[in-house]
Structure 1
């Protein structure tokens, strides 16, 4: 909705004004009720005074009630020219004596009338009136009887006074709301100035400047700035990974591609079929090596702890992955004359991790063993529980020529290769990928030598995942 995407200041002011208007409306309703109540109390006293003045002029002569209504009793009620006064005197049995006979009677809920006066609203001749009623005794030597006095007044003055009080209160409320809106409008503007300065600082940055935001900001947006800083960090890491991948690819692929181009040009000029087959074999081998290098570069980018492998971990079965990868590598091992086998757990072993990366880790360890071990060697993949720990150990062991101890600390570096190694299939990325994937899973890869024979043992410890993880 456009309103939701509008100005934050406008939205805050609107959300302030809505409850203020509701509260003000409720307050004005209370003011109206109190104004009507107060004006009625004031004017009802005048009604009562007139009724008492009339009652004082009621006498009993010869057993008959007579009334001499004084003009002053009605004059005190005429507070404004638009108001009119009516009265009625009747016996206790309701017989009309004098005044206006058709005045609205006393409502039943107030009957019978006693000494206490009652007041009620009614309509007389199409106009709203306020009526006060009292009941008194009049007595002579021989007789005593009760009579009722009703005095009514039109409500023009009362209504005008109530409306004036209400209008005055409404004007004050409207002024207060307007002042509050103005203060809040400018106050929010002042409160948002740190965000404006932050916007200006970000606009001054270059596209590659992904440093954390260190500006002072209101408490309410610190979490937002923190999230932006985390995003900047992830973007910076991703850019570094992409830049590293681009640089590595440009550097490592340049030589094999140049060799391929040279071999292809030689093939175009070569007439001898035998030499042509040799050239094609060389091209095929170079193509395989280049393809392997490209795959390793992509795997390295995926495994980078700071880059493209930012997917959340899941609960995966390490035993199933280990046995599956080992089985998939058996044909390549047979072709190389190497005995590849699996030992250890057969039941599920769950860990928290990325299945694709774990597969890549194990593939690289097995691939390294297969290409560097001579014909007739044995490679064993082993998965076993660690005693008294909620952990398992993944091991790849071979009985090949091994790695000299002085190279152990360097073999996990990118593009590092042992100088006296005769193999051409490697590219120096496999073990660095294994190390990075292990780091992604908050563990380490350990290189050691087997007891009693040559070769290498690569082992990695993984924490097992509980059923609720």
Structure 2
């Protein structure tokens, strides 16, 4: 797809080029005719001057002109002059006998093109009366001039005109480029403004632009407003789903637990316990689905983010997760390797990210067997970025499964509890913060998840 600049230059340059070529062609035609008429008049004038130099002495015609003076007649010394003078009987009086005869009768002066002695000539033939002592008659005079002077003058004029047109064209293109540059400045300003924004910033564009661009800006702002409304509706829908699903699932769990305590039938109690376990799993899955919906990176409003201390967010997330970790016979260790690990973040979502990483290690580090080791959480700075690491000493993940860990509902160990959404939520939150997610699992050495945030 060509740019607007290229199109404008094409539509300015192409017509100008065509006009320039048309001007050259027209100038060549008009100039050729004009120069031909001018030189033809000079040739006819030369022939008439010859007429005045012919006189009769004792019945014989004589010419009062030397051969060398004929070159001063019409060519201004730039070309060659040939002439021929004959009487009515065809007798050669003077000049070059080999000159070609005129193509038609000489009722009036006749101009024609011919060649002589390897020269291209323009000739004029005319007749005029002459009176001898005994009788009168007609004299035929032909004067021919080589065409070099005419062609040289035309070429010089066309060269001058071509240079002027070329200079004018370059000036026009330069002015057009400047005008296009100035004219497209509002579009470039809008483009820079949009590029500087986060891909999730849907605030309206505030800029003073020409009327022709204001329609585009209004359309973009309208689109952003509709997208913001769509995001708001989606978030509202998530809240409604959360309220409508969590309440009945909690009631099912409570009713199953109460019925199990009151029942004396072992089979019924086992069934009720299973119903409670399934309801608890469903409640956890619903909660994870709602968290995933809220964490979708394209729905996150980055304008609500602020500078936060990642280490402090890790402490809060560890404090919220520590009870569940201890209940499973595990330990949780947090290390702040460097201070001042500040990032631009949504604090609530980053805590979700850390909690899901801890929960993922807690539930899946041991594979089919419960994990009884330590979960390590650390924060450090690294070359203009801040790294969060969560690792364990479990069995690790095979290489063929690592690439799929962030897929929704995928679990490397299907027999372990969970929804298969934890790392998918982590991936969405990381993308919303412009962070990168790396998974590393050497054979038998556990899984290390590294999230690299841009430093604030």
TM norm structure 2: 0.52
TM-aligned CA deviation for residue 235 of structure 1: 1.5
User: How far apart are the structure 2 equivalents of 1:84 and 1:123?
Assistant: 12
The corresponding residue for 1:255 is 247
For residues 123 and 240 of structure 1, do their structure 2 counterparts lie closer, same or farther at Cα, with a shift above 3 Å needed? farther
TM-aligned CA deviation for residue 104 of structure 1: 3.0
Residue 155, structure 1, aligned to residue 147, structure 2: yes
The aligned runs of 1:120-199 (5 Å cut-off) are: 120-140=112-132, 142-199=134-191
Residue 54, structure 1, aligned to residue 50, structure 2: yes
Contact 1:13/1:185 (<8 A) preserved: yes
Contact 2:126/2:141 (<8 A) preserved: yes
User: How far apart are the structure 2 equivalents of 1:189 and 1:36?
Assistant: 42
TM-aligned CA deviation for residue 197 of structure 1: 2.0
Residues 437-465 of structure 1: CA deviation (Å, up to 9, x unaligned): xxxxxxxxxxxxxxxxxxxxxxxxxxxxx
Deviates more, 1:29-38 or 1:255-264: 255-264
Residue 113, structure 1, aligned to residue 106, structure 2: yes
Residues 370-412 of structure 1: CA deviation (Å, up to 9, x unaligned): xxxxxxxxxxxxxxxxxxxxxxxxxxxxxxxxxxxxxxxxxxx
Contact 1:260/1:283 (<8 A) preserved: no
The aligned runs of 1:35-434 (5 Å cut-off) are: 35-59=31-55, 67=63, 69-71=65-67, 74-77=70-73, 79=75, 83-91=79-87, 97-107=93-103, 111-115=104-108, 117-140=109-132, 142-262=134-254, 271=265
Residues 99-128 of structure 1: CA deviation (Å, up to 9, x unaligned): 222323323xxx33234x333333333332
Gaps of 5+ in 2: 284-456
Contact 1:50/1:76 (<8 A) preserved: no
TM-aligned CA deviation for residue 236 of structure 1: 1.9
Contact 1:131/1:150 (<8 A) preserved: yes
TM-aligned CA deviation for residue 21 of structure 1: 0.9
TM-aligned CA deviation for residue 221 of structure 1: 3.1
Contact 1:267/1:276 (<8 A) preserved: no
- State the SS of the aligned residue for 1:151: strand
Residue 20, structure 1, aligned to residue 16, structure 2: yes
User: How far apart are the structure 1 equivalents of 2:168 and 2:106?
Assistant: 48
- State the SS of the aligned residue for 1:213: coil
User: How far apart are the structure 2 equivalents of 1:173 and 1:69?
Assistant: 47
- State the SS of the aligned residue for 2:143: strand
For residues 180 and 268 of structure 1, do their structure 2 counterparts lie closer, same or farther at Cα, with a shift above 3 Å needed? farther
For residues 226 and 95 of structure 1, do their structure 2 counterparts lie closer, same or farther at Cα, with a shift above 3 Å needed? farther
The partner residue of 1:5 within 2, 11, 26 is: 2
Cα RMSD (Å): 4.0
The partner residue of 2:26 within 21, 25, 30 is: 30
User: How far apart are the structure 1 equivalents of 2:89 and 2:227?
Assistant: 97
Residues 36-89 of structure 1: CA deviation (Å, up to 9, x unaligned): 233333333332222112222335678776555544751323746661111112
The corresponding residue for 2:321 is none
Paired residues, number: 284
Contact 2:56/2:133 (<8 A) preserved: no
User: How far apart are the structure 1 equivalents of 2:217 and 2:91?
Assistant: 87
Residues 198-233 of structure 1: CA deviation (Å, up to 9, x unaligned): 223333444444344342323333333333233223
TM-aligned CA deviation for residue 168 of structure 1: 0.9
- State the SS of the aligned residue for 1:172: helix
- State the SS of the aligned residue for 1:86: strand
Gaps of 5+ in 1: 291-469
Residues 265-286 of structure 1: CA deviation (Å, up to 9, x unaligned): 67888636678899999999x9
Residues 109-154 of structure 1: CA deviation (Å, up to 9, x unaligned): xx33234x33333333333211122221223365333332111111
Deviates more, 1:238-247 or 1:75-84: 75-84
- State the SS of the aligned residue for 1:235: helix
Contact 2:71/2:77 (<8 A) preserved: no
